[in-house]
Amino acid sequence: MADKSFKYVIVGGGVAGGYAAREFAKQGVKPGELAIISKEAVAPYERPALSKAYLFPESPARLPGFHVCVGSGGERLLPEWYKEQGIELILSTEITKADLAAKTLISAAGETFKYQILIIATGSSVIKLTDFGVQGADAKNIFYLREIDDADKLVEAIKGKKNGKAVIVGGGYIGLELSAVMKINNYDVSMVYPEPWCMPRLFTADIAAFYEGHYQNKGIKIIKGTVAVGFTTHPNGEVKEVKLKDGRVLEADIVVVGVGGRPLTTLFKGQVAEEKGGIKTDGYFKTSVPDVYAVGDVATFPLKLYNELRRVEHVDHSRKSAEQSVKAIKASEEGKTIEEYDYLPFFYSRSFDLSWQFYGDNVGDTVLFGDNNPASPKPKFGTYWIKDGKIFGAFLEGGTPEENKAIAKVARVQPPVANPDLLKQEGLAFAAKI
């Protein structure tokens, strides 16, 4: 099998891979110079759709509708686009060995790919209950959601077990979004998580109380402070019950597990400097190895705003870090310089008729403002995080695009706060003044 050689190779065909390809095209990449190697069978797509519109019972999202870069208001890059640009899209190909010193990648099928410059955009894999040896965790109809194949299997099960019982294990992003979507599919839904409230890495108890209340009002059962320790099955191998640590047993036709992810860095272990669970980079996403860049979930990069190294698992950073790395590659080839990455952390989610956005850092004391009563017909509320007398983070539920821009600006500018009580009264009006 002849080696394939490219000037640039992106390993990973997720969101970051797609946005990097678009930036290469903008920068005038020549036909045959760039390859994207992806273990998925489809061109890069906007992954967040999988836990939302892809699973809707009415008018669900389907490819080619959500290929990158529609998620950020950009053009949709269909497989033909890559052909037109002379970009080689190498799908259904898993890289199993990387030799960074030799600038060589080898696939599971034994193909060899040579590169001059590599972008590592391998993303994350889901943490599975089988990793911890949970009894019965390999039963049928226990699902994880990361790739389109996972979503397709879940869609089939949702149709096959119509109006059944769903247990969602985990109280983070996937847990909240999947509980909502299973309810919309008319399932009886129970959420189970060990923490005292949902989304504990970001939400305060006050913020979480609103979402938990809203979900309960929709008929979702919330079981906190315990974990799934085992599963029983029907004779056909399908899941029947979820056994909880506190002794309770929940009936289940479908189980969806969302307990976090792990950055996919194993291929590069011992070949590149790592930090905080990711591949260490500079503000241009260059790693410790010449001509090797790392972006998205796998990169631990300097977060300039807070003067610290951080790894961020979110689609917004995947898009922006990918673009930054390509701009940096092109600038270095032309002997130019670009600005260092200056990222403002941004997280968001949508479920039911709710939509929240968060910007900045959730450190320090908090000030809650607005109406966070789950029974309100149109709830709208937010929170500011104050540290060292300045606002470091801002959260808003139900904001307009202008209001969301205003809280982003507050988190970026970090205005001083003299009187937290006054800030509570002013609420959004404070952000609008900045």
Confidence at residue 219, expressed as pLDDT on a 0 to 100 scale: 98
Nearest to 405 by CA among 364, 372, 365, 434: 434
Task: Name which of 42, 38, 30, 18 is nearest 113 in CA terms.
Answer: 38
Of the CATH numbers 3.50.50.60, 3.30.360.10, 3.40.50.300, 1.20.1530.20, which one belongs to the domain with range 4-125+262-333? Answer: 3.50.50.60
What is the rounded CA–CA span in Å between residue 12 and residue 90? 10
Domain 129-259 sits in CATH at 3.50.50.60
- Asked if 424 and 366 count as a contact pair (C-beta separation under 8 A), the reply is no
- Cα–Cα–Cα angle for 331, 332, 333, nearest 5°? 90
Provide the 8-state DSSP code for 23: H
The per-residue pLDDT for 1 is: 64
| Domain boundaries, given as residue ranges, for the chain | 4-125+262-333, 129-259, 353-433
- Give the HSE-up count for residue 225: Cα atoms under 13 Å, Cβ half-sphere: 4
Same CATH fold, 129-259 and 4-125+262-333?
yes
Class of domain 353-433: alpha beta
How many residues would you count in the chain?
434
Strands of the 239-244 sheet, one edge to the other: 228-233, 239-244, 249-251
User: 3-state SS string over 316-367?
Assistant: HHHHHHHHHHHHHHHHHHCCCCCCCCCCCCEEEEEECCEEEEEEECCCCEEE
pLDDT in tens, the chain (434 residues): 679 999 999 999 999 999 999 999 999 999 999 999 999 999 999 999 999 999 999 999 999 999 999 999 999 999 999 999 999 999 999 999 999 999 999 999 999 999 999 999 999 999 999 999 999 999 999 999 999 999 999 999 999 999 999 999 999 999 999 999 999 999 999 999 999 999 999 999 999 999 999 999 999 999 999 999 999 999 999 999 999 999 999 999 999 999 999 999 999 999 999 999 999 999 999 999 999 999 999 999 999 999 999 999 999 999 999 999 999 999 999 999 999 999 999 999 999 999 999 999 999 999 999 999 999 999 999 999 999 999 999 999 999 999 999 999 999 999 999 999 999 999 999 999 99
